[in-house]
Amino acid sequence: MAVGTPTRADQKQQTRTLLIETALDLMAERGIAATRTIDVAERAGVAHGTVFVHFATRDDLVTAVVGEHAEQIAGRLHELAGDRATVRDVLAAHLAGLAEHEAFHSRLVMEGPLLPPYARATLLGIQSAISAHLAQAAEQEMATGAIRRMPLPLMFNTWLGLIHHYLSNRELFAPGQSVVERWGPTLLDHYVGLLRPTGEGGKQ
């Protein structure tokens, strides 16, 4: 075989990657539940049966797509947040990662409860990547008095609830636009303001 000629295994891997990327794009556009395997095959330019050569069931394809998304978004967060990040840095990194993968992530948040168990668990896995960085930064800042003391789960869920509300209602907050780009800076400023110790703008 000539040097550089793809092997059968390479071609198989390329087709698998193409199917995952195509499905990810289509699910971001149309929704995860609304995307049919035949739509993925047509967009990818392969026979419908080819999808099932790589994924035994539709749920297996959804699992692979959600896994790919989780790897991208958690990897990006880890890269952007770094070890010596402040709470604000971590949240800004979360928003930056979301902005890059907003369409699919919004679908995942909205459709999560209806998805196969692994896909649901993967959303929690992504949230764990955020909560790990946030807890590390928050514990340091609570210890120095830079932010108010509060239970970590409530701190995390208050942020996530805010962000997920905007992601789930993109068409109300930013029709046809990125809701993270339009509202992210405002939400970040607002939330970080809530964390300030009483007496520094936290007093009502």
**Residue whose C-alpha is closest to residue 105's, from 89, 82, 81, 122:** 122
Least Å from the CB of residue 174 to another protein = 27
Cα–Cα distance measured from residue 96 to residue 76, given in angstroms and rounded to the nearest whole number: 9
Inter-residue contact 41 to 47 (CB < 8 Å): yes
Q: How far is CA 85 from CA 34, 46, 68, in A?
A: 39, 45, 26
Inter-residue contact 171 to 177 (CB < 8 Å): no
Helices (H) and strands (E) counted in the chain, each on its own, are 10, 0
The token pair at 15 is 């087709």
* Residue 86 binds to another protein (criterion: CB under 8 A): no
* Residue 156 binds to another protein (criterion: CB under 8 A): yes
Cα–Cα distance measured from residue 203 to residue 12, given in angstroms and rounded to the nearest whole number: 61
Least Å from the CB of residue 195 to another protein = 16
**What x/- string results for residues 56 through 85 when contact with another protein is judged by CB under 8 A?**
-------x---x---x--xx--xx---x--
* Residue 91 binds to another protein (criterion: CB under 8 A): no
Cα–Cα distance measured from residue 119 to residue 45, given in angstroms and rounded to the nearest whole number: 26
* Residue 112 binds to another protein (criterion: CB under 8 A): no
Q: Which of 4, 154, 201, 204 touches another protein (CB under 8 A)?
A: 154
* Residue 53 binds to another protein (criterion: CB under 8 A): no
* Residue 100 binds to another protein (criterion: CB under 8 A): no
* Residue 151 binds to another protein (criterion: CB under 8 A): yes
* Residue 134 binds to another protein (criterion: CB under 8 A): yes
Least Å from the CB of residue 105 to another protein = 17
* Residue 140 binds to another protein (criterion: CB under 8 A): no
Cβ within 8 Å of residue 142, ≥6 positions away:
148, 149, 150
Q: Which is nearer to another protein, 161 or 201 (CB)?
A: 161
Residues of the shown chain interacting with another protein in the complex, contacts defined by CB under 8 A = 63, 67, 71, 74-75, 78-79, 83, 117-118, 120-122, 124-125, 127-129, 131-132, 134-135, 151-154, 156-157
